[in-house]
Each structure stands twice: as structure tokens, then as C-alpha cells.
Structure 1
Amino acid sequence: MIQPVAVIGAGPFGLSTAAHLRARGIPVRIFGEPMVSWRAHMPAGMLLKSTPAASNIDAPQRGHNLVDYCDAAGIPRLVTDEDIIPVETFVAYGEWFKQKLVPELEQVRVVSVDRRGTAGFDLKLDSGEQFAARAVVVATGLSGLAQLPPELAAAVPDGPTPTGPVSHSSQHHDLSRFAGRDLIVVGAGQSSLETAALAAEAGANVRVVARGKGAVDFGAPPWEQPRLRPESPFGRAWSLYAISYYPHPYRYLPPQARHFLVRRILGPLGAWWLRDRFEDKVDKREVRRIASAEVRDGSPVLRVETLGGRTRELAADHIMAATGYRVDIAAMDFLGHALRARLAVSRGTPKLGAGYVSSVPGLYFTGLPAAASYGPVMRFVCGTEFASPRLARHLAAAHG
């Protein structure tokens, strides 16, 4: 009996990879709750920063992009760069994609993955089932990778919680709980700024604390984009064009350069359409650094160093870190200890070769964990267009 390929994760990258493998006739078992990060770990009412062109889940055949879903659902088409996608629409699109191309998705959790002798893998599910797979694709997205700055982590030794004094933005779906409360949101990216705006609209008193002068900023609207530069899913710029369509050579750059570019290109910046909802509604505090945080009488206090070099304390009912995600193989505890020990890593991220394969033959990573090897495009849905067909092609050749 031919052992299947196991795909762990049912977000855009997992669904796209499974669809491409199925199209090649490769037996696949895919595990996870469909679109769970988008459904449960993003705030209700959120709008995607990505344009419609950058929000297609890549499929092996035509007829399964965002416009096709809109047509099937009988809703207005989302086509131009000025069309904004509600997160609820994107979740429904992912569900539709799953029903059309990956109907066999199993909504169970993979508990462990271990090497099986010299080839293949042993997997255990939370249902108790154990089985063998000839290859494994890790497409777990943001799960377990929320990053909390050490200054904030020190205030909550047991970790961030949505009902405690300090949390991470991924722990909140309903922001109405902050109505009438003082909320500090730490961060300068889209997640921070949009969460702050949504919380303010829900009745919270919100302050955004961001590091660096001019840290809080917004992108230019589509009609102000430079016309003499090449177009990409992220805007008009040579660098954006290169990372979108030519990520092939990225993994040959020195490690320091790769990690730097992942952080800086497409870094913290609010969407153009968010400016009016943020300005004059959210208090902005740009600081030199966050010195520390502590909890006094059950409420958090943030100690910051101002741009002028003075120390200030900011008190609130709650502090929310919208500080993004950090890939760390150590956090992927479903991978067996011996398996993780065999993985070649760079700053906690897996070193990937051609076709997204890791240093362990048969073990692949796609999506965010692949960004340090294939560039910033892997942080976004449109990265499926490059990753999924190449991963499926490599896997078919190596394990066909």
C-alpha cells in the first residue's frame, strides 16, 4: 500500500499544497481546522491589508480564485486595488476552496511526528490513530508562533492571556470586551493599528505605543503609486516585484541578509484606507524603547523611554502586544525531539532547499516558516502561487 503524504495545517498554504498534490494523483491526508487563524485569531470586522490580486489561494486549475468565489457566492466581485476584503469574506473563500479541492480534510490535530527508520514518518493524531506517511508538509501558519517582547513577557511569567493584564493580539476575536476600558496596544504594524482602530470603534480608550520616531505610518493609496515602476501584488517597486516573482535565488543570500530582508521588506506599515479611522481617534505614543512592564494591583504599567530620553510610566486596564510572530522550530512541539534535533536551522527557522524540503528528506515547510529561505512573499497568501506547485513537483519527483 502506498503511504500518503501528510499535510499539517489547513490555512491557505496547507489547502493550496494539498490541492496541488491531489492534482498530481498523490494520496494526501490533510489535518487541521480550516482557516482557523483567520477565523479565530483575527479581530471581528477586520479588513485585509492585501489587495484582491494578492489574496488568491493558488490552485492547480482555473476557477478557484477570489473572483470565482465571489461569483459563486453571488457577492460583488473584489477585483481592483481599491476593493477591500473583509476577513469574513476571506474565511468563506477558504472554506469554499476546501470544499471544491480538498474535501477530505480531517479536522483533527497531529500530536506527534517522528522519523520512521531510514524513510518515512510515523504520525499520531489526537483521535488516537497512528499511521505512516512517506512525506510530511508542515503548513501550520501562525499557530504557536505569537511573539511577546521580553519586556512584556517579564510582567506575566505564566504567559499572556486574553483575560489577564497582558495579552497578544492573536488571542482576541471580539474587541467589544474593551468598551469603556483603557487599552494600550504595542506595535506599529497593520495588526497593531487596525486592532487599535477597531477597539476604539468598540468604545475603548486606546493608546498605541510604537518604537521610533515616525514609526506609525500609512501606505499610499493606489492612485498615488508610482506608475513607472513594475507592478506587484504589494505595490509598485522593483524590490517588491523581485520578491514576488523571483524568490528562487533568495536562499543563496548570506543568512544575515536573508533575515534582515524578511524583517524590513513589507515591514510595519498601516494600510492606506486605515488612516482616517485611526487618526484623531487613537492616541499615538512613539517612544525610544519600552524599558519594562509590571503589574500593580492587577493592572499593567508600561515604563517607556521617550524620544527625548526621559522615562515615563503609562498605566492601563490592559496591554495588548500586536508584535507579530516569530518562527521557532522549538515551538513546533508536535515534531519529535529527535526529528527537531536533526533539522538544520538558522535563527530558529528551518533551512530549506529546492522544493521547500528541509535537511530531513521528506520533511517540507511552507508558508511563514519558509520566509527565511524564500523571502517575505512567504508571509502572504499570494506566496502560494510560487510555493505550492514547486513543493508538489519536488515531492512527486522525490517520493513518487
Structure 2
Amino acid sequence: MAHRVLGRDFVIRPVAVIGAGPFGLSTAAHLRARGIPVRVFGDPMVSWREHMPEGMLLKSTPAASNVDCPQPGHTLADYCDAAGTRRLVTDEDIIPVETFIAYGEWFQRELVPDLERVRVVSVDRGTRGGFDLKLDSGELCTARAVVVATGLSGLAHLPAGLAAAAADGPAPTGPVSHSAQHHDLGRFAGKELIVVGAGQSALETAALAAEAGAHVRVVARGRGRVAFGAPPWKQPRFRPASPFGRAWSLWALSRHPQPYRFLPEAVRHHLVRRVLGPLGAWWLRERFESAVRVREVARVVGAEARDGSPVLTVRTHGGGTEHLAADHVIAATGYRVDIAAMDFLGHELRTRLAVSRGAPRLGPGYVSSVPGLYFTGLPAAASYGPVMRFVCGTEFASPRLAKHLAADHG
């Protein structure tokens, strides 16, 4: 966008937001509300639409599933009213993933109508300040600041013990895949399937696959690792409420993440892994236990492909070794932030970024060590805590990021 000022061309460079999931859309809405020119790139809700299993239900409650924005009237309940569907408001209301996707797409149409459905191929430092971006449309453009809100894209984690059976990486048609690679689990009907993991993703993937006709075993590391949360009516009443349940620690981490980045590095990474760790939703227990077998082991030692089929080698709690064969293994082993995997960031940018165990070190307002380069969502969890793994983290992140960017570049 160019303006003529005193006979010269003065170009107002916009802020570029990369990603159109909940964090990208929320950030864009806050920037637009401040009158900051912004270009938003991405396919709205693509990770939820293409990388979550069909029939999935959200573990998060409605209160924890609102995409934050400055304007009233854009909560999940508001979407339900606009769409004429049943209101989802209480902790006992369970959200189908299709409803949440539709909510995000409605939010985008209402508040970020000029979304550009193109992919950012590269981001580099500009020769005259700011940043140079290349889009897959062939367009070259500049931005005065960049917000990386790419969600889980490219961050799926495959443990080393499983990698040997997936020499070319996890693949839905290979012996080992990642849970993010499956939308239709019906392809495993009649097959022997192993799901590795003990979190909601593993347990719900296993239940959905079993309901689609697969013979499913969950392999979980540790004793008693397959567990389910308490239903809302059994939550303790004399502890503060949070989007994740009633506990002082959950309340502090979700309502006051600001001091988190001042904790020692080891403590921050430990809390990101452990707080709200592997736990199935209360409503999944009956479906899971009636359809899925569980094998708890000390650890998965390794894996190999024999005649195209995977065989896991596991260490038992008794100290022995067992081999578990299946037609396919799904690793529901979560995501790991690694700047090196964000290959759209130019080499110079990646080498200049201060990182902590692969994650960017963020200062006030979610800015990185490269001025003008911001991160939000999962990559911010190592700096601002576990709340950044969830949609409700937009309530804390987006207004603070927008305020910092406005002050820094105003």
C-alpha cells in the first residue's frame, strides 16, 4: 500500500502473519483492530481439517476453545448462535472437530476476510530493514515485521526408537506413520494396528481406529500411564478454575504466564512436557476400554520392518525383551519445536535466532532475538508455558504481541 507524501512515494509496509490457524487468525484480528496494516498467509484451519482424525472430539472445554479477538461476539457460543446449532458452553459439552473447524473458518470470514491462501516459501532479512518474503504464487513482497503462527506444521515428532522402521520418514502407506498423517482411519479396518503413546491423541486415535474395524493395541511406556481425567462433576470445588481443570498450578500457568520465561531453562522445558501431560478425556474412557488392548512397557527399544510390516522391540517391566508385530504402527508421540525444521526461514535468520533446545527464546511481547520476528502458538511454549499449546493461549498471547509490535514499530 503506497501513499504520496510531499511528492515522494512513502510505502507503508504491512506486518506479515504466516499461518491461519487459531493463533494466526487471533493475532491478525488484534493487529487489524489497532489499525496496523497486515497480510495474512495460509489456508484457514488446515491443520485441524487435514491432520486430525475424522470423528475426533476436542478434549478442550468450550471455555478453553475460544479464539481471542478484541471485538465482542466471536466466541464459539456466538458461532453456534450464528450457525443455528446447539450452543456449546458448559464443561460437559463436547466439541466435534468439524464444529471447531467451522468456527475457525467463520471467525476468519468475519475478522480476517482478506486472508491470502498462499504459502510462504521463504523469509529473509530485507536489505533495507524489515523482511523479504517469497510466496508460492511467485510474488515477492516486503514486511516490516513477521509473525510466525504455523502451528504444528512440520513439528511431528518420531522417537529415535521408531525411526529405524521408517527409513524415509513416517508415511501413512509405510510401516510407521505419525498420528498427524491420518484423517481417515477406516483404511485400517481388519488390520492389526499398534498405536504408540498414552496421551489423548494416542487414546482417541486408537478408539476411532477400533470403531472403524481395526484390531488395536496401545503400547504405552511406564506403569499406569494410560489414564483418564475426572469428569467435570468430580472436579474439586475448592480450588481455582482454569481452562484445564481446578488446580492452583493450572490456574497460575494459564492466567499468569508472563513470569514463566524467567524460570530456569530446565524447569521451563520440564513443565512444558509434564503439565497437562498424557491423559485421556473423561468422556473417552468407556469407548477406549471396551475396544482397545493396552500393553504397558518399560520402553520401546527399537523397531524394524520385516517384509514391509513393522516389528517393535520393547523392554518389559520384568527386564525382558519382547517383539510386537503388526500391520502398521502409528506414533502418537506428539510434536517437538525445532527452528531447524522451519525451512521457510532463511539460513541467516535461523542462525541469528537465539534458541533453547530448538525453540526460539522470546522476550516481552513474543519477539525473538531478531527484532521484528515474532513467534506465537506452540513455538512460544518454551518461553510462556504450557498454555501456549492450547487455543485458549490466544487470550494471553495475541493482545500482548499486538501491543508490543504496535509500540515497537509505531
Short-chain TM bin:
over 0.9
Question: What amino acid maps onto 1:34 in structure 2?
Answer: P
Q: Which residue of 2 aligns with 1:270?
A: 280
**How far apart are the structure 2 equivalents of 1:343 and 1:13?**
21
| Matched ranges for 1:1-400 at <5 A | 1-117=11-127, 119-400=129-410
**How far apart are the structure 1 equivalents of 2:191 and 2:151?**
32
SS at match of 2:78: helix
Question: What amino acid maps onto 1:323 in structure 2?
Answer: T
- Residue 15 of structure 1 deviates from its aligned partner by 0.2
Pairwise CA RMSD of aligned residues?
0.6
Question: What amino acid maps onto 2:114 in structure 1?
Answer: E
Question: What amino acid maps onto 2:305 in structure 1?
Answer: V
Q: Which residue of 1 aligns with 2:7?
A: none
Structure 2 gap ranges (5+)? 1-10
**How far apart are the structure 1 equivalents of 2:392 and 2:220?**
28
**How far apart are the structure 2 equivalents of 1:280 and 1:225?**
24
Question: What amino acid maps onto 1:285 in structure 2?
Answer: R
- Residue 119 of structure 1 deviates from its aligned partner by 2.2
- Residue 309 of structure 1 deviates from its aligned partner by 1.1
**How far apart are the structure 1 equivalents of 2:337 and 2:257?**
19
Question: What amino acid maps onto 2:377 in structure 1?
Answer: G
**How far apart are the structure 1 equivalents of 2:26 and 2:285?**
33
SS at match of 1:385: helix
- Residue 118 of structure 1 deviates from its aligned partner by 6.0
**How far apart are the structure 2 equivalents of 1:280 and 1:301?**
25
- Residue 132 of structure 1 deviates from its aligned partner by 0.7
**How far apart are the structure 2 equivalents of 1:139 and 1:56?**
17
**How far apart are the structure 1 equivalents of 2:312 and 2:290?**
22
**How far apart are the structure 2 equivalents of 1:356 and 1:383?**
12
SS at match of 2:369: coil
Deviation string for 1:141-181 (max 9, x for gaps)? 00000000111111111101001111000000000000000
Among the aligned pairs, what percent are the same residue? 80
**How far apart are the structure 1 equivalents of 2:350 and 2:385?**
22
- Residue 310 of structure 1 deviates from its aligned partner by 1.1
SS at match of 2:323: strand
- Residue 281 of structure 1 deviates from its aligned partner by 1.0
Question: What amino acid maps onto 1:208 in structure 2?
Answer: V
Deviation string for 1:48-103 (max 9, x for gaps)? 00000000000111000000000000001001000000000000000000000000
Question: What amino acid maps onto 1:200 in structure 2?
Answer: A
SS at match of 1:191: helix
- Residue 280 of structure 1 deviates from its aligned partner by 2.8
**How far apart are the structure 2 equivalents of 1:87 and 1:286?**
29
- Residue 307 of structure 1 deviates from its aligned partner by 1.2
- Residue 117 of structure 1 deviates from its aligned partner by 3.1
Give the TM-score of the pair, scaled to structure 1: 0.99
**How far apart are the structure 1 equivalents of 2:76 and 2:287?**
26
- Residue 301 of structure 1 deviates from its aligned partner by 0.4
**How far apart are the structure 2 equivalents of 1:15 and 1:343?**
24
**How far apart are the structure 2 equivalents of 1:316 and 1:285?**
13
Q: Which residue of 1 aligns with 2:8?
A: none
Question: What amino acid maps onto 2:255 in structure 1?
Answer: Y
**How far apart are the structure 1 equivalents of 2:317 and 2:125?**
52
- Residue 282 of structure 1 deviates from its aligned partner by 0.2
Deviation string for 1:10-43 (max 9, x for gaps)? 0000000000000000010000110011000000
**How far apart are the structure 1 equivalents of 2:113 and 2:26?**
12
**How far apart are the structure 1 equivalents of 2:75 and 2:69?**
8
Structure 1 gap ranges (5+)? none
Aligned length: 400
